[in-house]
A = this chain, B = another copy of it.
Amino acid sequence: MMPKSLLLLLLPTLLLAQSPTQLPSHNLMPVPASLRFGGVRVPITATTTVALKGFVDDRLRAATFRTMRRLEGRTGFTFTRELAPEPSSATLVIEAQAAGKAIPSIDEDESYTLDTSEAQVPLRAPTVVGAMRGMETFLQLLSGDRQGFFIPGVRIQDAPRFQWRGLLIDVGRHFEPVDVIKRQLDAMAAVKLNVLHWHLSEDQGFRVESKKFPKLHQLGSDGLYYTQEQIRDVVEYARMRGIRVVPEFDMPGHVSSWVVGYPELASAPGPYEIVRGFGVFDPAFDPTKDSTYKFIDTFIGEISALFPDAYWHIGGDENNGKQWKANPAIQAFMEKNKIADVHALQTYFNQRLLKILDKHKKQMMGWDEIYQPGLPKQTVVHSWRGQKSLFDAAKQGYAGVLSAGYYIDLLETAARHYAVDPLPADSGLSADEAKLVLGGEATMWGEWVGPETIDSRIWPRTAAIAERFWSPRDVKDVDDMYRRLGTISMQLEELGLTHEKNVDMLLRRLAGTRDVAPLRSLVDVVEPVKGYTRGSQQKGTTLLPLTHFVDAASTDAIAARQVTSEIDALLNDPRLMITRDRLKARFTAWRDAKPGLDALIDRAPGLVEIAPLAKDWADMGAVGLEVLQLLELNVTPDAAWRDAKIAVLDQAGRPKAALSFPFVPSMRELVFGVMERSALATEPPAQWRARIKTLANPPRRGRGGH
């Protein structure tokens, strides 16, 4: 073994020798702004201690306590619960300079540095929040080998790229109990997100106790709401983790649940009921009555006391204007006040709302429909319809937050969201304008998630989005992102997240048995239908139990991704030899899975809907095996064979039970690949490969057209 002193001498050289592409693999997510490996490995043992140096408060103490308990959980060690009296003797030395903002703020300094020195990990930060961000990095650094646990030699200087890194949770459509929200906050902190955007009212539910207007929660929530004490508890829980809580009470539309108890707020007489379906509904506040504003003033006066954050989200989206157009008094008001259309009327509403928010010292934020001529400059535009409105708004001097591209309820893959940048290099914004792009928010809309499934719809995918918001723009290697995401996903479980463990639980419930291996194999190769198409396959209401097979499926089916990459590897190899054995095992397993699945389906009517999927899967396995055999025999099949196989794949390509096989396009490539095999002798491989892709999955006409 090299003496430590020698290692120290070598250290600068080792660091200098590293170029970014030579970095050893690590599990950090988000990737720090500056990260260099090398130097001293710090062992983590049963005698590991922590010291607090510099500024210390309850929040730092509690975060340190939690960090050490998580470290205990992972290592199995029992550490001392005393802080090390002498920093020089401690393993982890946390040195914060100051408390930071009293109330979590957009202006918080979240930076920190973490670098190993001989036998110590010094973590330094200007604020307690920065120190907390660094503690998460520390936990992600924990590594192990036969010698034991350790923190590898690193030098990290880190700070976020964007100051607004949020997750929206819609508890209006499906209520989520306090413990569900708290574990999301823990997970957010773990990946350095700093804003919980809490969408608290919807047509389908009003979720906050109001003492001034008790019929809001009494009649608008089915009994599923947060007491004011619970709200305070969650806000404090978030503060302890350096997370802001921005409440949203959507208005003037999306207010059905309000007007069940207070129909006089609406622009049509009512009566109203809590909405069970999904979509855009007519009820809208009457913006022409002073009583409406008086109600809102009193309401905001009461509820804003629960939310110390500087911002207040007014929603403002998807008001269809129908009630306004149908109400003669409103029409007369518009004529009298020269309000041209419903958009202008909504701007009028927003202007009056702004005055109320000013009075209650809240800064207004709203969805991008509110970006209309006359919008007050201090308003923050929350863009859900596209980046253009964000950049347009920035050019006009409005600050903005991006959610277009981060709609995780669309059930797109992590890779797809990861590719969206709130501020791409070609944004066309000046440096000053670019500063107005505050960051982004992933949006967990609540149509199809409940307490048992929301974790798996948010995590681990949202960790990839969190990285997009925190890490430098050029961190964008998708394969490496997925590799790290796998590890982070396990770590999130230690915070009580259920995204991994509820998969088998849901399958066991469906099957009524512990032996769900065949179901697990199937669920690992399917993905829920993307976009808002589940509703076309299953009756979409808030009352549907979210216990179907699709609820167990992940948006990023691991095995499906492997199949795709194996087929890709096979077709990229001019001799089509690579991975053949692995694919053969896979296709055989698909073909042979059907009897096991059928046996389960026979006893479990809840699984009948997946019988066609089981058949498609087996059929695709047979197609795959045929292709491999043809390759082996060096035979090129005829067009009739191809048409028959493509017909099978067409059938398999149609969603069933709200699920689809994401690798059907790859299977089509396989079929065309074997058809065109002989061309490989003469055609350049890259050209051949591109041709196969187009042959197999021709670009659809009109797609993306004008």
Listed in ascending order, the chain A residues whose CB lies under 8 Å from chain B are 69, 72-78, 81, 144-149, 179, 486-487, 489-490, 493-494, 498, 500-502, 504-505, 508-509, 512-514, 539, 541, 543-545, 547-548, 558, 601-606, 608
Contacts and interface: CB of A to CB of B under 8 A. Distances in A.
A541 B78 contact: yes
Given A76-B548, A145-B602, A514-B558, 12 more contacts: A72-B545, A72-B547, A73-B547, A75-B606, A78-B544, A81-B543, A144-B604, A486-B513, A489-B514, A493-B509, A494-B509, A501-B501
Among the interface residues A498, A512, A601, which one has the most CB atoms of the partner chain B within 10 A? A512
Contacts of A146: 601-602, 605, 608
Contacts of A490: 508-509, 512-514
A157 to B, nearest CB: 26
A77 B76 CA distance: 44
Contacts of A498: 501
Among the interface residues A74, A505, A603, A605, which one has the most CB atoms of the partner chain B within 10 A? A605
A261 B423 CA distance: 58
Contacts of A73: 509, 545, 547
Contacts of A179: 179
Contacts of A147: 605
Contacts of A489: 514
A388 to B, nearest CB: 39
A69 B547 CA distance: 11
A513 B486 CA distance: 7
A505 B493 contact: yes
Tell me how many chains of this kind the complex includes: 2
A605 B513 contact: no
A295 B548 CA distance: 56
Leading 4 A-B pairs by shortest Cβ distance: A501-B501, A72-B545, A144-B605, A73-B547
B493 A514 contact: no
A514 B486 contact: yes
A493 B509 CA distance: 8
A489 B543 CA distance: 26
B486 A605 contact: no
A508 B493 contact: yes
A76 B606 contact: yes
A274 to B, nearest CB: 11
A218 to B, nearest CB: 16
B509 A505 contact: no
Contact of A502 (B74, B501, B513): B501
A78 B148 contact: no
Nearest to A178: B179
B504 A75 contact: no
Contacts of A606: 74-76, 144
Contact of A512 (B144, B508, B509, B543): B144
Contacts of A608: 146
A4 B153 CA distance: 77
B144 A76 contact: no
Nearest to A142: B512
26 contacts: A69-B545, A75-B545, A76-B547, A76-B548, A77-B545, A78-B541, A78-B544, A78-B545, A144-B512, A144-B603, A144-B605, A145-B603, A146-B601, A146-B602, A147-B605, A149-B605, A486-B513, A490-B508, A490-B509, A490-B512, A490-B513, A490-B514, A493-B508, A498-B501, A500-B514, A501-B502
Nearest to A493: B505
Nearest to A72: B545
A638 to B, nearest CB: 39
B605 A145 contact: yes
B500 A505 contact: yes
B512 A78 contact: no
A181 to B, nearest CB: 13
A512 B487 contact: yes
A6 B545 CA distance: 37
B512 A501 contact: no
Contacts of A69: 545
Nearest to A543: B78
A641 to B, nearest CB: 34
Given A146-B608, A179-B179, A508 B514 contact: no
A605 B75 contact: yes
A490 B504 CA distance: 11
Contacts of A513: 486-487, 490
A538 to B, nearest CB: 9
A657 to B, nearest CB: 10
Nearest to A604: B144
Nearest to A547: B73
B78 A539 contact: yes
A455 to B, nearest CB: 12
A502 to B, nearest CB: 7
Nearest to A489: B514
A500 B508 contact: yes
Among the interface residues A179, A489, A513, A543, which one has the most CB atoms of the partner chain B within 10 A? A543
A232 to B, nearest CB: 14
